[in-house]
Amino acid sequence: MARLVLLILVLTAIGCQASMSPVGRSVEDAAPPAPTQPPGWQDQLRLPEAVDLNPDPHIVEVNLEARVAPVEIRPGVILKLWTYDGGIPGPLIRVRRGNRLVVHFTNHLDEATTVHWHGLRIAAAMDGVPEHSQAPVKPGQSFDYDFIVPDAGMFWYHPHLNSAVQLGDGLYGPILVEDPKEPQGFGDELPLVLSDLSLGLDGQLAAGDQGGTLASLFGREGDVVLVNGRQGPTLGMRAGVPQRWRILNAARSRYFQLALAGHEFIRIGGDGGLMPTPVRTDRLLLIPGERADVVVVPTASAGTELWMRWVPYDRGYGTAFRRKEDDILRVKYSADAPVLPPPLPATGRTIAPIDTSGATPIDIRFTNESTPTKFALGVNGKPFGGDDHLHARVGETQVWSVTNTIEWSHPFHLHGFFFQVLDSAGAPVQPIEWKDTADVPVNKTLKLAVRYDDRPGIWMFHCHILDHAEAGMMGMLLLE
């Protein structure tokens, strides 16, 4: 009997301890809480998230509206912009890899539009290319996008019709695809959408054709640089506590070269998710359409204030001439004592090189097709618009050589498929990563390998300087 009483006492004591501490240890034994970011660290950068209307944990179902709306880009400065759901960028759509995403899209603009899901490997019918994927969504009309999201990473959505103007005036938004099986612990996550706006003398949006054909040839860069839709917002940091920035360049033409004095960017991933090993740099370049998954370890002392800067990047004739660096994001360290940063976890990703033996070579050139009376750019000597297309078969592997014959760099984007960039000897650039957007510098050739899975249809490829795309630097691939 005494033994039974003792057993009950012991069990009761264990039960009490378990209820006091979730790990069943006393308070004295518990590890101190992990250091966190300062309170409100991302308040000025927080993006609204699309509301999931579907209770099924495997389906994310959201509404999305394109409409003109007033947006405050810095305190007291309100602009009438083209928006998704009334803000720029549009709402962050957060899904898990393998989820079904349903987007009920409605167009409240005065002109037709579509939504392209940049980087997502989905069916051609959902890719948002007018006339090929779907009919343009006219003013007042709706269209339902419905697909399975196959890959983890940062992706984005934007129009594919009159895109230089529609995107340049504010229509873009991020999609963050999470995979619970990926390693965690890189740092506190912060999506950063970089963009710019061109304003006229009245301080409101400039006309889309401002500057004429010369501006189209250069690619229009807005005079106001935005981070998450705001001019010069402030980000809080605590010395030693890493942050994981999921960055997207959503600008119509601007290359973003970023620098944060005294800090390095540890790039752990890009367009198509994590890379096998990180790449460390103190100048991070994102071409239009491109994404970077970056860890920043705050290494300055408590109380430091500094700016992340846009640094001019020479992307061709005159594009860096007499341009100054621009402060785009204020970084403010809290007064908290520095902590020792945790070690950087391994990404756990392996990416096999695409087997290019027997691959079909595809040679394309980006060309200038202007005549004395008409400005036009093209692919292989023809501006977009004919019924020419490249061909591929399901299961085929191709090696593309994309040659730039004109005086400006071009961010090459292929819809619907990831590719691997190759070096001049034909080997994949290390560390291997999955890309959907890659630069073709002046007078250079971009080589890439792509393998087509079973998603037949018409797929676009084009320059992601959207002034160039709209001037004819687009092409089509027919996959059968």
Please give the residue ranges that form the binding site for Cu ion (CB under 5 A). Answer: 410, 463, 465, 468
Burial pattern 448-461, b for ≥16 Cβ within 10 A else e, equals bbbbbeebebbbbb
Residue 283, classed as helix, strand or coil, is coil
Q: Contact, 298 vs 241, CB < 8 A?
A: yes
- CB of 463 vs Cu ion, minimal distance in Å: 3
State in angstroms the smallest separation of the CB of 443 from Cu ion. 14
Q: What are phi and psi of 452, to 5 degrees?
A: -95, 120
Q: Which is nearer to Cu ion, 244 or 468 (CB)?
A: 468
Q: What span, in angstroms and rounded, lies between the C-alpha atoms of 480 and 469?
A: 25
Say how many CA atoms lie within 13 Å of 264 toward its Cβ. Answer: 7
CB of 217 to Cu ion, least distance (A): 9
The Cα angle at residue 284 between residues 154 and 326, in degrees rounded to 5: 105
Rg (CA), the chain: 25
Nearer to Cu ion (CB atom), residue 267 or residue 468: 468
* Least distance from Cu ion to the Cβ atom of residue 473, Å: 5
Q: Which is nearer to Cu ion, 248 or 463 (CB)?
A: 463
Supply the minimum distance, in Å, between the C-beta of residue 406 and Cu ion.
8
Name 217's bridge partners: none
To 5 degrees, how large is the angle CA 177–CA 258–CA 245?
Answer: 25
Which residue bears the tokens 């390693």? 183
* Shortest reach from residue 326's CB to Cu ion, in Å: 22
* Residue (143 or 255) nearer to Cu ion, CB: 255
Neighbours of 291 (CB within 10 A): 28
Tell me whether residue 270 or residue 289 sits nearer to Cu ion (CB atom).
Answer: 289
Nearer to Cu ion, 238 or 468 (CB): 468
DSSP state of 166: H
